[in-house]
Each structure stands twice: as C-alpha cells, then as structure tokens.
Amino acid sequence: MDFAEVHLKRGRDEAVAEKSPWIFSGAIHAVREFEHDGQPCKVFLGDRIVATGYINTQTNIAVRVLEYADVEIDRAFLCRRLETSRTMKETLLQGSTDAYRLVHAEGDLLPGLVVDRYGDYLVVQSSTAGMDALRKDLVPVLVDLFRPMGILEKSTSTSRKTEGLEEVRQVLYGEVPDEVVITEHGLRYVVDLAGGQKTGFFLDQRENRRIIAQHAAGRTALNAYCYSATIGLCMHKAGAASVHNVDLSEGALALAARNYALNGIAPGEDEFQVADVKDFLAEMPDDRYDLVVLDPPKFTASKRTVGAAIKGYKHINMLALRKIQPGGLLFTFSCSGLVDMELFRKIVFYAAKDAGRDARIVRALSADVDHCLSVYHRENEYLKGLMLYVA
Ligand SMILES: C[S@@+](CC[C@H](N)C(=O)[O-])C[C@H]1O[C@@H](n2cnc3c(N)ncnc32)[C@H](O)[C@@H]1O
C-alpha cells in the first residue's frame, strides 16, 4: 500500500499527545507522496512515525487516525478491529437482541465507518473518502467474520458532501431484502433497510426503551417523534393506560402499525397520528398526559444553526412540560452532537422556568452500550437525554 506522508508542524503535536482520532489541517507542515484524497498516510513528528490513518486535503479534519503506531492498513488490521468490536458488543448485550451497532466510527477506532447488524444482514455507512477507499478490503472481512446473507451500503450522511463525495446506495454482497424483522428484548420490529431512517432502525434508543417502559404502567403516555413507535410499543406492553404515537412521517406510522401487529397488538388499541409535534402540543389542553417522550430529529448539524436549535428544543420542551400532570414524567432527548449535555440541561432549565413547572432531573440518559465513545474523542457523543419528574 502506498502511504502519503503527513509531517506535523513543530509544537503542533497536541492531537498526538491526546491521541485524538482527528488531526486538523492547521497542524500540518507538509504532505509528501500524496496521490489522492482518502489515501492511507503515516503521520510524522520530526522523523518519527507516530500514527497511521488516512488523509483528505479538502477538509478541515485532514487526517483521521486509525492507530497511534506505524501499522499496515490491510485486511488483517480490519479483522482485528471488527473482532474486538464484535466481542465487546455481544458480551455487553448478552443476547438481548439480534440487532446492534457493530462499528460506531471513532468509538470503535474506525473513523468514518458505521456498521449495523440486523440479524443475517449488515448495513454499512461510510462518511469519508478514506473509508470509501477501504471498502474493497472491508467487505471480504465482514463476509468472513459474519457469514451474512447480504451487505447493504447506505452512505447517505450529509458530511459526505464536505468530503467531496456523492451519496452511495448499493448492495455490496449477497442479496438484501427491503425489510427484515429483528428481535430486541423479546419484542419484534420491522426494519426498513431500503427506505427507513438512519440504517433502518434507532438502535441507539434500545436501553432507553427499557427504562421508559419500566415507568409506563398505568400512565397516559405521549410518544412524540415516534418513528416506528418502538417506545410506544414498549410502553403498551409494560401496561400504559394509553399511548399516543405522533410523527410527521406517514411512512413511519405505517411501520409503527405493523410493529404493533407483529407483537399481537391491534393498532386500534393505541393512537397513531400524523402531525407536526409543535402544532400537536400547542393544541393539546394542559395536564393531558402523565408521561411524555420527546425524541426529535437532529435540530442542527452546523455551528451556524445552533442558536435556532436551542430555541427549537426549548420551545418543544416548554410545551411538553405544560401538558404533563403533576407527578408525571418527561423523557426528553437531543441527538444533535453540537448540543452537549451541559447545554441541553440549560435548555431544559429555561423550558421548565418558562412553563412554570417544578421539574427535577432524576436520571441522565444516553445511547446504548453498542454506541461506545472513545475517551480520546468527545465529538461523537450525540444522543443525550434527561428523565424528569414533574412535580
Ligand atoms: C430521532 S427519530 C425518533 C426515533 C424513535 N423515538 C425511535 O426510537 O425509533 C425522530 C422522528 O421525528 C420525526 N419528525 C421530524 N420532524 C418532525 C416534526 N416536526 N413533527 C413530528 N415528527 C417529526 C421523524 O420522522 C422521525 O421519525
């Protein structure tokens, strides 16, 4: 393999010192032996190789580090990484599901790559030129390790544009059906691989589904931004008095009804409504529910729009808090990476203040264990949530 050489500026070795998976262009003194963006590279501090990764000269994050050592980037390397991730995920999830995130990008030391496993099928997402270049080695390794029936590539993240890449949707191996059925904590869900959001399913909310269900018995619940109503279904099974599932997408609610049916519940037993949650909440009388889940889509992907996102989160949380009876619960989430937990807490504080409600944080929530984070990299901590007791 031909590696580019990336020489760091003197005194700009902070990324190396902190073992960050990202090296920014400003820290680079010179690039030699460069052939193309996405090329594997060795990172030099003086005449010493300190890291191996891949380079993109078009982006602010110029190098994504695969290992802080001088290593080969080949099938054996990918195999080691994937085996470690599989062992970790399967050990931690203890057979509770046949669907999990096998590779969570930087969290699993494979920047730019997501691999989700849905039973016998794998869905791969590459967000960088470097990962696109490694695809030809990745596929045979995935086939050897998992013997899947099929591998689908769904590389559709907006960050591909920054890398100068088009969206890619293709079958990389075998045959892939449009849908599969997975089992999580004893419940079955349809995963829309072809047309669904993300890689087809919100795997990250697995543990939160369980936590929310633990508190649902007897409650009048609203599942706002419900997608395929997985949280609603868990609350129903846990004995909620009623569940109102609301989403803007008709397709999502069609999936939701099928998920209910798949688990032996007539969809008529709960409510499903296509609506914009903001309008829906604005029209609801106060004190209507005693459990509300707010799991909106990402409100911002860029620093320029963080201000608008803060306003948006505050508004929906304020509305939701007004609709909750004293003694009720709010489970509120944000999946915007640019809104960290500290900021999210502040937003919820202002929402409670303006709603005039005494809301108490009883639990902090996050993505489940298969969405691990590298201690050397905070940036991919995207999903955060709070469980609030509304007195
Ligand atoms: C993060 S997902 C929810 C995932 C879901 N809680 C789960 O665990 O499967 C966000 C959902 O919000 C929906 N959505 C986006 N904008 C909306 C809006 N203004 N009103 C209602 N739903 C909206 C999307 O269709 C999507 O299904």
Percent residues over pLDDT 90 in the chain: 93
List beta partners, residue 171.
Answer: 152
Active site residues: 335
Q: How far apart are the two ends of the chain, measured CA to CA in Å?
A: 62
Q: What is the arithmetic mean of pLDDT over 43-55? A: 97
User: May I ask the CATH architecture of the domain 75-181?
Assistant: 2-Layer Sandwich (3.30)
* Confidence at residue 197, expressed as pLDDT on a 0 to 100 scale: 85
Apex 97 CA angle, 113 and 220, nearest 5: 105
Q: What is the arithmetic mean of pLDDT over 105-114? A: 97
The reply to whether 75-181 shares the fold of 4-67 is: no
Q: Which residues line ligand 1 (CB under 6 A)?
A: 197, 202, 205, 225-228, 230-231, 247-249, 252, 276-277, 295-297, 335
| Cα–Cα distance measured from residue 185 to residue 95, given in angstroms and rounded to the nearest whole number | 9
| Cα–Cα distance measured from residue 333 to residue 37, given in angstroms and rounded to the nearest whole number | 36
Q: How many beta carbons lie within 10 A of that of residue 62, not counting itself? A: 23
* Confidence at residue 379, expressed as pLDDT on a 0 to 100 scale: 79
**pLDDT classification of 233: cutoffs 50, 70, 90:** very high
* Confidence at residue 19, expressed as pLDDT on a 0 to 100 scale: 94
For residue 296, give the ligand 1 atom closest to its CA: 10
Q: 172: which 2 tokens?
A: 């990389």
* Confidence at residue 380, expressed as pLDDT on a 0 to 100 scale: 77
* Confidence at residue 345, expressed as pLDDT on a 0 to 100 scale: 98
Query: How do the domains of the chain map onto residue ranges?
Result: 4-67, 75-181, 202-390
Cβ atoms 191, 99 nearer than 8 A: yes
Q: What is the arithmetic mean of pLDDT over 13-18? A: 90
**pLDDT classification of 172: cutoffs 50, 70, 90:** very high
pLDDT of 339 higher than 80? yes
The residue with greater pLDDT, 356 or 199, is 356
| Cα–Cα distance measured from residue 367 to residue 253, given in angstroms and rounded to the nearest whole number | 23
List beta partners, residue 183.
Answer: 188
Q: What's the CATH superfamily of 4-67?
A: PUA domain (2.30.130.10)
Q: pTM (2 decimals)? A: 0.95
**pLDDT classification of 73: cutoffs 50, 70, 90:** very high
**pLDDT classification of 100: cutoffs 50, 70, 90:** very high
pLDDT of 220 higher than 80? yes
* Confidence at residue 81, expressed as pLDDT on a 0 to 100 scale: 98
pLDDT of 28 higher than 90? yes
* Confidence at residue 315, expressed as pLDDT on a 0 to 100 scale: 98
Residue 254 C-alpha from the chain's centroid: 23
User: DSSP letters of 192-207?
Assistant: ETTTSSTTSS-GGGHH
pLDDT of 35 higher than 80? yes
pLDDT of 249 higher than 80? yes
Going by alpha carbons, the residue nearest to atom 12 of ligand 1 is 225
Going by alpha carbons, the residue nearest to atom 1 of ligand 1 is 297
Q: What is the arithmetic mean of pLDDT over 206-226? A: 98
| Cα–Cα distance measured from residue 180 to residue 193, given in angstroms and rounded to the nearest whole number | 7
Question: Given ligand 1 and candidates 226, 258, 294, which is best to mutate, with the most ligand atoms within 8 Å of its CB?
Answer: 226
pLDDT of 5 higher than 80? yes
Question: Given ligand 1 and candidates 197, 247, 274, 315, which is best to mutate, with the most ligand atoms within 8 Å of its CB?
Answer: 247
At 366, the amino acid letter reads S
**pLDDT classification of 92: cutoffs 50, 70, 90:** very high
Percent residues over pLDDT 70 in the chain: 100
Coil, strand or helix at 333: strand
**pLDDT classification of 301: cutoffs 50, 70, 90:** confident
Instruction: Give 388 Cα–ligand 1 centroid separation in angstroms.
Output: 20
State how far the alpha carbon of 1 is from the alpha carbons of 4, 38, 39, 79, in Å. 10, 13, 9, 17
* Confidence at residue 158, expressed as pLDDT on a 0 to 100 scale: 86
Regarding beta strands 48-55 and 40-45, do their DSSP bridges make them parallel or antiparallel, or are they unpaired? antiparallel
Coil, strand or helix at 124: strand
pLDDT of 196 higher than 90? no
Helix (H) or strand (E) holding 237: helix 230-237
Q: 387: which 2 tokens?
A: 């469980």
Whose tokens are 């990008």? That residue is 105
pLDDT of 254 higher than 90? yes
Instruction: Give 200 Cα–ligand 1 centroid separation in angstroms.
Output: 13
Burial class (CB in 10 A: 0-12, 13-18, 19+), 216: buried
Question: Given ligand 1 and candidates 203, 212, 227, which is best to mutate, with the most ligand atoms within 8 Å of its CB?
Answer: 227
pLDDT of 37 higher than 80? yes
Instruction: Give 70 Cα–ligand 1 centroid separation in angstroms.
Output: 43
Q: What is the arithmetic mean of pLDDT over 335-348? A: 96
| Cα–Cα distance measured from residue 227 to residue 242, given in angstroms and rounded to the nearest whole number | 18
pLDDT of 378 higher than 80? no
pLDDT of 357 higher than 80? yes
Q: What is the arithmetic mean of pLDDT over 173-188? A: 98
CATH class of 202-390: alpha beta
pLDDT of 208 higher than 90? yes
List beta partners, residue 48.
Answer: 45
Instruction: Give 199 Cα–ligand 1 centroid separation in angstroms.
Output: 15
Per residue in 140-161, pLDDT (tens digit) is 999 999 999 999 999 999 889 9
Q: 234: which 2 tokens?
A: 């868990």
Per residue in 118-133, pLDDT (tens digit) is 999 999 999 999 999 9
* Confidence at residue 112, expressed as pLDDT on a 0 to 100 scale: 96
Instruction: Give 29 Cα–ligand 1 centroid separation in angstroms.
Output: 44
